[in-house]
Structure 1
Amino acid sequence: MTASLDTASASASAAPASVAAALWQGAGLPAEALGHLDLTGADPVLPSSFAVGTAAQASLAASALAAAALWQQRTGRWQQVAVDMRHAITEFRSERYLRVDGGPAPELWDRIAGVYRCGDGCWVRLHTNFPHHRDGVLRLLGCAHDKAAVQAALGKWEAEAFEATASDAGLVVAAMRSFDEWDRHPQAEALRGLPPVTLERIGEAPPQPLPALPALSSAESRPLSGVRVLDFTRIIAGPVAGRTLAAHGADVLLVTAAHLPSIAPLVIDTGRGKRNCELDLRDPDDKRTLHKLLHGADVMIQGYRPGGLAELGVGPEAAARARPGLVYVSLSAYGHVGPWSGKRGFDSLVQTATGFNHAEAHAAGEDAPHPLPAQVLDHAAGYLLAFGAMAALHRRATEGGSWHVRVSLAQVGQWLRSLGRVPAGLQEPEQKIDDVADLLEVLPSGFGMLTVVRHAARLSETPAHWALPSEPLGTHVPEWMPRG
């Protein structure tokens, strides 16, 4: 394999300001806001042939500028928003820099997760961090929970055949494809031309402006003060969206259930600023509690398997009927259209399936899959989900309506490709925690003292911060805080 970029994708990476402006214009927000945005830094900032710094800076900046636009809508005053690329990409790796009481965070990855060469010489990636996904893969392979045993078993499979069989069983596996192979796939064809974030009006409701901030009793008003967000998400992308809304003052209530698996370091890292409760939506009483919460919500974010919440009666249309004016925000792995619209997935798998691991390996002169230097699709999706939610709140205030915001990891990947390549990017040195010490802060939590990455967006009048600490799941009661 040669260490070069394919000619078609070797164009210079796009300017971050123009990338942010395109996101902004696509959401139908006021153009004057862009004059209040200041972006510094340039790719490369991490070892990658992709413009990962630009993706981090532009998506994070769009979310912060949307908060500033809501502030202007509520107060009549604009404020300046500044985002440095180095800080943005560091926040895109927040889970890597998490420390608990000065020591390492709990382990994130299961011991058999990762890439394996199959019998046809092609590669697959397994995601086995949830016990039911791990156990399902082991049953399918008929082997022990051991990397050598898994490798021996996969030597009897063709990569795409194993991917298809595992997916049919509800498991999360991806075969590695090149960009050319992905571009010929029916799912890629279905997504072609779709933006990374879409806003759709799905119901009628009168305009609902957020209350004027001077009327709120809080002495520390922020752009989303008084906004209520139901957070039905796990892992990284959706929880980052909720964490971002909380950083701008929203009352974010994470809803989980005792029977659902979670990943400890991600719960700790993304729980900043949120309250969290447990509701089992299979229980009639808990379902009634959810509907009571829904009637008081402004935003609902969900990242469960496609159709999962709809089966429980809280899909977008049903939720909007129950609460006219709701902003319903959906995350999926591969998009809401196409043959893979119901397919489960995570960032590392989508990177593998859609060509990124192959492209990075090709640029590095390697054979084995080469991941991006961060869970870029997850984190970018998180900020784009938050951006879409705030854009819909802004439009709800003047246009009315109920809104459905959609983001998928595969569409974010399509967007990242469109930003161009960084020919010398893989020569950039890796960043260790000591290299970003100036971007970290220490906060108390229900898990101990946390070392975390500060929010990268700087708002001149309402500094982003988390007013509540991360707490263990199930800490809080399922009810809203007073609005002001």
Structure 2
Amino acid sequence: MKEIAESLDLPEGGFDITGTGDFPSAFAVTDLATAAYGYLGASLAGLIGQDKSRPNVTVDRRLASLWYAQSIHPFGWELPPVWDALAGVYETRDGWVRLHTNLPHHKAAALRVLGCEPDLDAVQRAIRSWGADEVETSIVAEGGVAAMMRSEAEWAAHPQGAAVAAEPLIQWSNWSGPAKSWDMRPDRPLSGLKVLDLTRVLAGPVSTRTLAGYGAEVLRIDPPGWDEPNLVPDITLGKRCARLDLRHLTDRGPFEALLAEADILIHGYRPGALAGLGYDEATRRDINPGLIEVTLDAYGWTGPWAGRRGFDSLVQMSCGIADTGRVWAASTKPTPLPVQALDHATGYLMAAAAVRLLDRAARGKGIGTARLSLARTAELLKPYRQDRIGTLDKRPEQADLSPETEYTPWGAAFRLRPALTIEGAPMKWDRPASALGSVAASW
């Protein structure tokens, strides 16, 4: 995918591809998975080979696809369900809408708007009397999250769709700052670097999990009480996880100490949210002039929805992917991608962006930031339609799994083998997945 290479300022290609298979979809999801991994590998190879030849990079397209589904496979225990009982698509009087109710406050907001009990049948009955746009607008206004199904043409004509289409895949900004140096080992290129992880759910955590796989020390910070039980075992691999509440004075000092020592900050706060906590960009630079930042939001950084909460499944509904899938599947219902591909692809692109910023800073070319969004990644994918019948199953075979047992707080598990191979620099993690809030908030 040429646009990824151009966005990362890399030559097109630069990696080999092995493995076979494609996810069944109207869109070339496996091609996206492979390309995102490949250009991540090319970014790392460039960092490793700054003053010498670059190592070879190979992506296994089958494993790349499987990592977009689930990387951890428990032995003798089970992950909680991915979705809340009320999450899903509902038929309205004039179309379809998706509710995302995995978080308690989002679920409560939807139920307040619908005026019904937390029962699937009750929600279905209540929502049939609403128009799709009406229920989306009302739930969002109440502090919840929802998305009506729009066609690709309707999204292109929508003010937010037009705004997102005009944005670059990766928005860069740079300024002068101290040259970044660390004792980079070719076999662990990110070893010695501290990554402060202020991300939730999926895209951001995927990016920091990836950086940990090449040696970065990742510390994830969550507020008290926050949990993602269906995702944490999958996406905290290689990380340490602590808790701080930035609304409380006693936790702000420790946070600022962490920020001052960090090499990279990765966060998923919507525009203005960190500033609202007292940490606008100028303040962050004052605390740490050499801080590299990578951040994302759901619906883009410009336009009327720039501050709207959202998730992969909702963006697919808004931007036309679910509708195009419906036509492809000859269905009356929205048909999403077979995996949360916008989340995962954005996560790997975020990791690649962090590496490119490191490369630039190590060459004395300044410090910078990168911004990405799920909606813009959707625009990257939409032109790539599937021209073959995909039959790839999300369930791994034994050969797809690493032979080593991972001992997590929840029990033993097997992890997928890495999809990315960089000559002389294996992707591996120094610690198993960990529970949120399991360590002190310190480096």
**Which TM class, normalised by the smaller chain length?**
over 0.9
Which deviates the most, 316-325 or 269-278?
316-325
Match of 1:113 in 2: 87
Matched residue, 1:429 = 391
* Partner of residue 410, structure 2: 447
For the 8 Å contact 1:272–1:468, the answer to whether it is kept is yes
Q: In structure 2, what is the equivalent of residue 358 of structure 1?
A: 323
Answering whether residue 6 of structure 2 is matched by residue 25 of structure 1, we say: yes
Alignment of 1:152-231 (within 5 A): 152-201=125-174, 203-213=175-185, 221-231=187-197
- Tell whether 2:402 aligns with 1:438: no
Q: Distance in 2 between matches of 1:147 and 1:469?
A: 37
Q: Judging changes above 3 Å, is the alpha-carbon distance between structure 1 residues 192 and 22 closer, same or farther for their aligned structure 2 residues?
A: closer
The percent of aligned pairs where both chains have the same amino acid is 39
CA distance in 2, matches of 1:365, 1:453: 33
- Decide whether the 8 Å contact of 1:324 with 1:401 is kept in 2: no
Contact 1:67 1:224 in 2 (8 A): no
Q: Matches of 1:87 and 1:316 in 2, distance apart?
A: 38
> Contact (CA 8 Å) 2:326, 2:334: kept in 1 or not?
yes
Letter in 2 for 1:311: G
Stretches of structure 2 lacking an aligned partner (at least 5 in a row): none
Deviation of 1:358 (Å): 0.5
Residue 321 of structure 1 and its aligned partner are, at CA, apart by 2.8
Shift of 1:196: 2.2
Inter-partner Cα distance in structure 2 for 1:154 and 1:376: 28
Report the Cα distance in structure 2 between the residues aligned to 1:26 and 1:466, rounded to whole angstroms.
28
Query: How far has the Cα of 1:309 moved from its partner?
Result: 1.9
| In 1: Cα distance, 2:184 partner to 2:326 partner | 52
Match of 1:304 in 2: 269
Task: Please tell me whether the aligned partners of residues 67 and 390 of structure 1 are also in contact (alpha carbons under 8 angstroms).
Answer: yes
Conservation of the 8 A alpha-carbon contact between 1:325 and 1:400? no
Q: Is the partner of 2:368 in helix, strand or coil?
A: strand
- Per-residue deviation, 1:85: 1.1
Q: CA deviation at 1:170?
A: 1.8
Instruction: Tell me the CA shift for residue 455 of structure 1.
Output: 2.1
Change (3 A) 1:317 1:55: farther
Give unmatched runs, 5+ long, in structure 1.
Answer: 1-18, 215-220
Q: Secondary structure at the match of 2:22?
A: coil
Do the aligned partners of residues 115 and 407 (structure 1) sit closer, same or farther apart at CA in structure 2, a change above 3 Å counting? Answer: same
RMSD (Å), alpha carbons: 1.8
C-alpha offsets along residues 387-430 of structure 1, whole Å, 9 cap, x if unaligned?
11111111112244331111100000000013x211443xx335
Distance 1:438 1:316 in 2: 46
Q: 1:314 aligns with which of 275, 279, 299?
A: 279
Mapped partners of 1:403, 1:256: distance in 2: 25
TM-score computed with the length of structure 1 as normaliser: 0.87
2: CA distance, partners of 1:56 / 1:315 = 33
Contact persistence 1:199–1:403 (CA under 8 A): yes
- 1:240-279 Cα offsets, whole Å, 9 max, x none, are 000000001100000112133x221311100100011111
| C-alpha distance in 1 between matches for 2:252 and 2:433 | 25
The CA deviation string for residues 188-235 of structure 1, in whole angstroms up to 9 with x for no partner, is 11122433222211x321322333539xxxxxx501011110000111
- Tell me the residue number matched to 1:104: 78
Counterpart CA distance in 1 for 2:41 and 2:337 is 24
Partners in 1 of 2:336 and 2:161 — Cα distance?
20
Against the structure 1 CA distance between its residues 102 and 198, is the aligned structure 2 distance closer, same or farther, given a 3 Å change threshold? farther
Q: Which residue of 2 aligns with 1:39?
A: 17
The letter of the residue matching 1:347 is D
Deviation digits for residues 9-41 of structure 1 (CA, Å, limit 9, x no counterpart): xxxxxxxxxx1x542332234x4x954x21235
Q: Would you say 1:49 and 2:11 are equivalent positions?
A: no
SS at match of 2:382: helix
Aligned partner of 1:11 in structure 2 is none
CA deviations on 1:87-119 (whole Å, 9 max, x unpaired) are: 111111126xx3333342122211010000012
Residues 55, 380 of structure 1: 8 Å contact kept: yes
Between Structure 1 and Structure 2, the one with more helix by share is 1
Q: CA deviation at 1:77?
A: 4.7
**Match for 1:394 among 345, 359, 380?**
359
How far apart, in 2, do the equivalents of 1:113 and 1:178 lie?
21
The match for 1:474 is 437
1:267 aligns with 2:232: yes
Equivalent-residue separation in structure 2 for 1:41 and 1:472 (angstroms) = 33
CA distance in 1: counterparts of 2:302 and 2:232, whole angstroms? 30
- Contact (CA 8 Å) 1:204, 1:325: kept in 2 or not? no
In structure 2, what is the equivalent of residue 293 of structure 1?
258
For the residues of structure 2 that align with 1:40 and 1:101, how far apart are their CA atoms? 28
What is the letter of the counterpart of residue 424 of structure 2? E
Matched, 1:377 2:342: yes
